[in-house]
Amino acid sequence: MSTETAIRDSIDQAKRAIGRTWPLHSFVTANPLAGFEDRPFHEAVREGERLYGGRGYPSASVFRRAWEQGRINPDRLRAALARHGYDADADEADPEALLDRMASETEASDAGPDDDADRTPTPSDQVDAVLTKWLSAFLDEGAAKWPMPDRSNGFYRAFRAAARYDRQIPDREAIAGLPDDPIDALADRLADRPRDRWASAFEHHLSALPGWTGLIRRRAEDGGVWQSACPITLPGYLAVRLTLADLFGAQIVPDGAEADVGSTPGNADAAGDVPLAEVWLNAWEATYRERLVDEVAARSPRVDERREDAGDDADDGSRPDAQMVFCIDTRSEVIRRHVESAGNYETHGYAGFFGIPMRYEGRGSAVGTDACPPIVDVAHRIEDRPRADREHRHERHARWTNLLEAGERVLEGLKSNAATAFSFVETAGSGYGAALAARTLLPGRVHTAIDAVEGRTPSAHEFCGPTLDHDDTDEGEIPRGMTFEERVEYAANAFELMGWEEFARLVVFTGHASETANNPFGSSLDCGACAGNPGGPNARVLAAICNEGRVRAELADRGIEIPDDTVFLAGEHNTTTDEVTLYAGDVSESHESDVERLRADLASATADAAAERAASMDAPSDDAERETKRRAADWAETRPEWGLAGNAGFVVGPRALTADLDLDGRSFLHSYDWRTDPEGDALEAILTGPMVVTQWINAQYYFATVDTAVYGSGSKVTHNPVGNVGVYQGNGGDLLGGLPLQSVMRSDDDPYHQPLRLSTVVHAPVDRVADVLSAHEHLTDLLDNDWLSLTVVDPTRDHDAFRYDEGLAWTGLDAPEPSIEEARESQVSAPVADD
């Protein structure tokens, strides 16, 4: 093996230690320990502890709180303890005593040598300090007026050209003499070290600044405009890092007999050693899951009954007034409940990118955004273009945006020139003073004012439409538009995955987006299925496809009959205020009254959802809508909405399983009907797509809650955004990748998010689920290693529940006691279940 191959192989081996960090403007969910998903959860946690010093389980106090609030069922706890070898009857299994033990163990391991803060920086600290300086300069996306010179030559060469003048580096003249190729530089640094230690050396250096290296890895693997303009690679980065380590006298190869990279510990004891915290976590999860599964299983017989009823008399007026499709996002669960109770409406859950893998080029935005989950490759470029019949509005819009942009450029020009910035501040200062007072003292009014301005200027969605037609003249890397066949495919996929049968007069695809002010993490609240972007554009594309006559004809051939009076609309759910905007500007006269009624009912759903939300945010509920709007516009608000905090469950099945349940915004919901999916294709698509993405989201919230510093990004109060790509804490250093503390905690030590791993519940025959799993090793890996759990409610086996165990084995769970279910039946009167 040549040296070069050996180096590249070792880097590939080592890079699983680092996650993938997305730039903050499109916050993509990722499990920070994604590299270890092929290992048991507790081993991955241990790796995280070894590499980053991260804590992987909730603290004893979090468990204690959950225990005291009755969130952990004593029976479940006893069972979990027994399973892991704690004698259930002895004193050692007393919950209080166990919590005390857990607390003292954590304390002991936390009391490290960190307390003497002003210790002299070690050589490794100095390497980090110099390196973060150059990384932030190189990876900057347009923040600095004067960017780092020579960036187009790549990180390694740009560093070589500039760092020779860096007086913070000892013996800096040596940098000028570095070889041209970073691999040669690495070979020089490693020449006298044993080859079998190279991988652990690389792992050591890659895991030193995990925020930055995660960003580099993501950028190098995915490409993008910035990567083409200023390329950076892991070998280039490592060459710089090892050079600096050499010059500062820091370790190149870590000492100690650490396990070799990539090899699972062969030690059988270690593998079976599940920590006490995981046992508690299991019990907590089991408590939540048991309740969810019971309720779903109890409703399973009713789903069949309903279908039989519907089959008997198709035209009995059961056709809903409108059907709305929402994202599987947990926040949709809340608004769906309120929409359903506002009128004769049916709702469905589908991944919020609506199955369209597109790069969206919005009106007036310079850069396209990839609006699809990162497990899907972008296949189309969709441009928002003004439509000929809306020319008038377009002109007004253009005048307004041109004025704003020009004003911004003049201000920017004045501020950035050294000679003019001072007079600028003097002449503009009083304006800033007025804005300062208004935004701080009257935050609610600010939202009203913004609304008023927006009401007077036409927004882009009023006069633009997505351009779907395939354009073969375009020679871009990604084709513009899509072919007819692709359009039919996307529409058919949607209805097949959701198990759709009957169409109402209005069908609304509702994407979602958040609305927050002064929030670097705004995109973490947008649609996760759209890679941290608003979902409205995707909804508009699918609605446009479904309204096409040719597409409908083709769909009819495939067995999807859409009545002529069905109109498809797009909409967007504002997850901060729970308002739903319908893009219905061009709906024909025949459907105007339907749209009007839907709008009115959506407004009442908004009010109800806002009242529910106000309670969860500790706000007065008498004027809940004003409060949610205030939070959307308030620049001092660090918790504008709870996002997906609380997520713990994922129900795959018909809405009737959950329609009369209050899931408190904790469950993802994907519509699915096993009967319309005899081959299991739809199920396969759901388990390999949405389930994997929800597990990432869940893992991200879990880890950000259990260790806000290492896996989250700490408190927003001391955040410092850097380079349009991320945030620092305070003065700088490593980039922080995860969710901020305020996204998951009610106060600094009181979690709002309940750190539980995802409990998936699927309504389908067990065998069919097993078939899908056996074909996808990645899924069984995740399940076998306890990254999430899977329970199947099997309608063909007496609606019994089966829990996935390990290695494709299942455990049957007791069916819910029928007496309780019957008792409840009589009280329940839910609009959807009864129609």
Partner 1 sequence: MTGQKQSEAIGELPSGKPQTDALTPVVVTRLTWALFVASLGAVGARTLGWWTTLPTAGPFAIDGLTLLLWVVVTFFAGIVDSYSRRYMAGTHGVGRFFVRTLGFTLIVMLLAAADHALLFAAAWLAMGLVMADLIGHVRGWPQAQSAARFARRYFLGSSALLGVAIAVLWWVTGATTVSGFAAAAGSLPVTAVFVVSAALVLGAMIQSALLPFHGWLLASMTAPTPASALMHAGFVNAGGILLLRFSPVITAEPAVMLAIVLLGALSALGGKLLKSVQTDVKRRLGCSTVGQMGFMIMQAGLGFFGAAITHLILHGCYKAYKFLSAGSRINRTSPNPDSDHGSLGVVGVAVTLLSAVAGGAVFVALTGKGSGPDSGVLLLLIVVLTTLHATRTALAQTALSAPVRIGAVPFVFLPAIALYGAIYRTVETVLRDVPAVTAPAELTVGHAAVAVAFLLAYLAIETGAYRRSRRLYTALLNATRPPSATLLTATEDYNEY
Site for partner 1 in 104-143 (CB under 8 A): 110, 114-115, 117-119, 121, 125-126, 128-129, 132-133, 136-137, 140-143
Residues 213-252 that bind partner 1 (CB under 8 A): 225-226, 228-230
Binding partner 1 (rule: CB under 8 A), the pick from 616, 676, 688, 780 is 616
Asked if 505 contacts 594 with a C-beta cutoff of 8 angstroms, the reply is yes
State the number of CA atoms in the 13 A half-sphere of 528 facing the CB.
27
Instruction: Compute the least distance from the CB of residue 539 to partner 1, in Å.
Output: 21
Residue 548 exposed, middle or buried by CB count within 10 Å (0-12, 13-18, 19+): middle
Strand pairing category for 649-652 and 667-670:
parallel
Residues 638-667 that bind partner 1 (CB under 8 A): 638-639, 645-646, 648-649, 660-667
Asked if 703 contacts 738 with a C-beta cutoff of 8 angstroms, the reply is yes
Q: Which residues pair with 569 in a beta bridge?
A: 508
Question: Residue 503's closest CA among 462, 448, 552, 465?
Answer: 552
Instruction: Compute the least distance from the CB of residue 417 to partner 1, in Å.
Output: 5
- Does 176 interact with partner 1 (rule: CB under 8 A)? no
DSSP state for residue 24 in the 8-state scheme: G
Question: 265-294 mask for partner 1 (x: CB under 8 A)?
Answer: ----------------------xx-xxx-x
What does the DSSP assignment read for 103-129? Answer: HHHHHHHH--GGG-TTPPPPHHHHHHH
- Does 721 interact with partner 1 (rule: CB under 8 A)? yes
Residues 731-770 that bind partner 1 (CB under 8 A): 731-734, 736, 741-742, 745-750, 752, 754
DSSP state for residue 470 in the 8-state scheme: -
- Does 832 interact with partner 1 (rule: CB under 8 A)? no
Q: Which is nearer to partner 1, 179 or 733 (CB)?
A: 733
Question: 180-219 mask for partner 1 (x: CB under 8 A)?
Answer: ----------------------------xxxx--------
Question: 544-573 mask for partner 1 (x: CB under 8 A)?
Answer: ------------------------------
Question: 377-416 mask for partner 1 (x: CB under 8 A)?
Answer: -------------------------xx-xx--xx--xx-x
Whose tokens are 């609605």? That residue is 543
Q: What is the CA radius of gyration of the chain?
A: 28
Question: Residue 665's closest CA among 609, 602, 748?
Answer: 609
Asked if 784 contacts 812 with a C-beta cutoff of 8 angstroms, the reply is no
Residues 792-811 that bind partner 1 (CB under 8 A): none
Give the chain's length: 835
Instruction: Compute the least distance from the CB of residue 769 to partner 1, in Å.
Output: 22
Q: Which is nearer to partner 1, 128 or 601 (CB)?
A: 128
Residues 415-444 that bind partner 1 (CB under 8 A): 416-430, 432-433, 435-437, 439-441, 443
Question: Residue 611's closest CA among 621, 600, 596, 626?
Answer: 621
Instruction: Compute the least distance from the CB of residue 303 to partner 1, in Å.
Output: 18
Binding partner 1 (rule: CB under 8 A), the pick from 716, 776, 797, 803 is 716
- # residues contacting partner 1 (CB under 8 A): 159
Neighbours of 87 (CB within 10 A): 10
Q: Which is nearer to partner 1, 386 or 714 (CB)?
A: 714
CA dist., res. 448 & res. 451, Å (int): 5
- Does 477 interact with partner 1 (rule: CB under 8 A)? no
Neighbours of 354 (CB within 10 A): 30
The helix-helix angle for 536-546 and 484-498 (nearest 10°) equals 100
Whose tokens are 């040719």? That residue is 550
Binding partner 1 (rule: CB under 8 A), the pick from 28, 102, 163, 238 is 163
Instruction: Compute the least distance from the CB of residue 486 to partner 1, in Å.
Output: 27
Instruction: Compute the least distance from the CB of residue 176 to partner 1, in Å.
Output: 11
Q: Which amino acid is residue 601, in one-letter code?
A: D
Binding partner 1 (rule: CB under 8 A), the pick from 274, 531, 541, 722 is 722
